[in-house]
Amino acid sequence: RTYNTAILGATGAVGQEFINLIEERNFPFKNLKLLASKRSAGTKLMVKGKEYVVEEATDDSFKDVEIALFAGGSISKHFAPVAVKAGAVVIDNSSTFRMDPEVPLIVPEVNPEAIKDHKGIIANPNCSTIIMVMALKPLDNIAKMKRVVVSTYQAVSGGGKEAMEELEEQLRAIAEGTPIEPHILPGASMPKHYQIASNLIPQIDVFQDNLYTKEEMKMINETRKILSDDKLRVTATTVRVPVLRSHAESVNVEFDDAISVEEAKKALQAFPGVVVRDNPDEMEYPMPLFTSGKDDVEVGRIRLDESVEYGLNFWVCGDQIRKGAALNALQIAEYMIEHDMI
């Protein structure tokens, strides 16, 4: 059967990827509503050869909608309950409801069993969290994890379309020798802005009292919720790098018991949505060049951490807009359809 579907935030990077994916994956939509803020209303977008006009999202937008895909942002706080009240299941890419105990936080390959507890809203995790837990889960299945240390190298796409445009502008400016006037990263509303081209910015989102950024705290808290392990020790450093749309992460994991590189590779390769690209003799390892625009998360540089009794280091890359946001959310909807949950 087909489902009345709405996309809120249809004109942003994630919203546009939702459209790409519902075409590519032949998502079974009946009627499709493209919704956005007043500013973007009127935009014309093609979906499966048909022209759609983006409508301004209002409290009446969700009548008869069965599946509402929210691209993210603060508007979720208002419209998610409105859409649920209208009878829709909301899959929300914003951070608004992720840590709400009433809201499942889902990576379909990792914790699909938690979807059934939803009360209308299902939260899509933060992109850097999704990419990391896709690699952690297969390892946790064979050896109990006790501590995770992650350093991320996050693409500018995480900052939205404007941040991607800013990197491209700055690369052109460097090539032409024209001045660079940063105005988006690390955050458009922040008091200071820094050049990202040929630079690294060790700040994603705002600082908390504990001197971690909100992004780092998301990785810590969301990982524990998704893996249902509030004893798992996690620490994170998240960094913005001049890459367009794939996040990369250096991960160190300590386990309660032994795990070999071979066992880890086997478990990772067998996990849906993960590809092991790991052959140092052939200089083969994951890079944004390989993962951008693709669905799979790639893992490589797998090696023992010989500084502890049972530890592994690895490197993981994944497309921030696809598996990090739109694909994961759509896969949640697909899972719910396959399991008659809508």
**253 belongs to an annotated ligand binding site:** no
**HEC assignment per residue over the chain:** CCEEEEEECCCCHHHHHHHHHHHHCCCCEEEEEEEECHHHCCCEEEECCEEEECEECCCCCCCCCCEEEECCCCHHHHHHHHHHHCCCEEEECCCCCCCCCCCCECCCCCCHHHHHHCCCEEECCCHHHHHHHHHHHHHHCCCCEEEEEEEEEECHHHHCHHHHHHHHHHHHHHHHCCCCCCCCCCCCCCCCCCCCCCCCECCCCCECCCCCEHHHHHHHHHHHHHCCCCCCEEEEEEEECCCCCEEEEEEEEEECCCCCHHHHHHHHHHCCCEEECCEHHHCECCCHHHHCCCCCEEEEEEEECCCCCCEEEEEEEEECCHHHHHHHHHHHHHHHHHCCCC
**303 belongs to an annotated ligand binding site:** no
| Shortest distance, position 320 Cβ to ligand 2RA, whole Å | 6
| Shortest distance, position 80 Cβ to ligand 2RA, whole Å | 18
Residue of closest CB approach to ligand 2RA: 158
Q: Which is nearer to ligand 2RA, 127 or 244 (CB)?
A: 127
Q: Which is nearer to ligand 2RA, 40 or 94 (CB)?
A: 94
| Shortest distance, position 215 Cβ to ligand 2RA, whole Å | 6
Q: Which is nearer to ligand 2RA, 106 or 204 (CB)?
A: 204
**39 belongs to an annotated ligand binding site:** yes
Q: Which residues are catalytic?
A: 127, 247
**240 belongs to an annotated ligand binding site:** yes
Instruction: Give me the residues that bind ligand 2RA (CB under 6 A), please.
Output: 126-128, 154, 158-159, 204, 215
| Shortest distance, position 191 Cβ to ligand 2RA, whole Å | 18
Q: Which is nearer to ligand 2RA, 71 or 88 (CB)?
A: 71
**213 belongs to an annotated ligand binding site:** no
Q: Extract the annotated binding site for phosphate.
A: 98
Q: Extract the annotated binding site for NADP(+).
A: 11-14, 39-40, 157-158, 179, 320
